[in-house]
Amino acid sequence: MKKPVSRVWKWRRAVANSAFSASTKHVLSKLSYFMDEDGDSCFPSIKDLCEATSLSKNTVRHHLELAAAAGWVSVLPIGSAGLHGQKWRRKSYYARWPDEQSHAYPLETTEAETMVEGGSIDSAKVGQPLTQDNTTPRISPSARAGVREIAEPDRRKIDGQFRKWAALWPRRSRKKDGIAALRLWRGLTDAQREAALVLTPRYLRTVRDKTKLCGPETALRRRIWESDGVQVKAAFKGPLWMACYFWRLLQPAVSAVTFTGLEEKMIADGSRTREQLVREKRRKFGWPAANRMVSLWHEKRSFFCPAHVEPLGDLFVWVATESLLFAAWARLAEARDWPLPSPIGKGLFFPRVASLDGDLDEAVAAALAAFEVQAAGVFHERT
């Protein structure tokens, strides 16, 4: 009786016909030679695979992660059964199909058999056409489509963002299952990844008991950076951004003002007045939350705010710098010692004024008061 085709041989042929890159196929092919006929009992070290493939450690690990993410290999720790020693610190690899239940060839089969070299006793006569039986296992369409779901340049960028995000977490909170966390990170949208990078530090600061801090994988599953609700991106100095900026300016200023020895001398000799220095310090340091919004832009980072405050942006309109209305807003900011941001282009967004007839200073004061009432209702809605 002819010997059945081994499972690992079928797996090797399936990998060769998959949508993987040539390097990934090469790594998996070399990995298969460490397996038994069933595709199990395989625990080579990364060094063994590097010697077999002539590739670096990072390259081998990368291609194994791709294969594991696509469902072609299972990677499990083999030291979980209480075994000790260098050997049991390795990982165990098992050959798998992306669609394990429905792939064309089960483990035990007698329908697909190999032909001995030169043909068997019952081989066909010369000139007789042979049947064209394809013994290559089928590749599921879902697996083929998902292997290269992310282009190589995009993948490098996304993985770099993940390393930057994972570094935000305390070392004791990081788990060994980095592959699972990376897979979840790749499944996020660009906006979600950007929001995670910006908002995760705020979440980490709010957790007082660090022993209850979840790990990166759990954080990605729960999307903890959205714990305050869905976040939306506000364009720098756009209407929504200016609405949030004005709301921060409407909060009480930092009251503590200190003077250096040099400033005390300037006050003593009359070159500067105490009131002038207090107002300058208020403009620079009085509203740190508003200043932080500007700093984010200088750091090339986006500003996000809760989605429920987004309608406040509709209350703001564009005001040209050369207009009398802009001059009125500048006078109001000067009177309150507000650090008005420099205009983008030839104007800025300000709360809509009801009427341009009459005293513009009174008009902008009334517009600001109306915005404060509406903003207070929106910002305090979820608190």
Q: Per-residue pLDDT for 165 more than 70?
A: yes
- Amino acid identity at 183: R
Q: What is the pLDDT at residue 223?
A: 82
Q: What is the pLDDT at residue 85?
A: 54
Residue percentage of the chain with pLDDT more than 70: 75
Number of neighbours of residue 5 by Cβ within 10 angstroms? 17
Name the most confidently modeled range: 94-103, 222-231, 259-268: 259-268
CB 91 within 8 A of CB 69: no
CB 62 within 8 A of CB 25: no
Q: What is the pLDDT at residue 218?
A: 85
Q: What is the pLDDT at residue 206?
A: 61
Q: Per-residue pLDDT for 80 more than 60?
A: no
Q: What is the pLDDT at residue 177?
A: 57
- Burial (0-12, 13-18, 19+ Cβ within 10 Å), 234: buried
Q: What is the pLDDT at residue 2?
A: 56
Q: Per residue in 352-364, pLDDT tens?
A: 998 888 899 999 9
How confident is residue 283, by pLDDT bands cut at 50, 70 and 90? confident
Q: Per residue in 317-345, pLDDT tens?
A: 999 999 999 999 999 999 999 998 888 77
CB 81 within 8 A of CB 126: no
Q: Per residue in 236-251, pLDDT tens?
A: 899 999 999 999 999 9
Between 176 and 241, whose confidence is greater?
A: 241
CB 111 within 8 A of CB 104: no
User: What's the whole-model pTM score?
Assistant: 0.45
DSSP 3: P
Name the most confidently modeled range: 86-90, 193-197, 269-273, 316-320: 316-320
Average pLDDT of the chain, as a whole number: 77
Whole-number Cα distances in Å, 338 to 154, 244, 282, 290, 362: 42, 14, 8, 10, 18
Residue 127: left if φ>0, alpha if ψ -120 to 50, beta else—which one? left
Whole-number Cα distances in Å, 178 to 185, 215, 220, 312, 355: 10, 10, 12, 40, 59
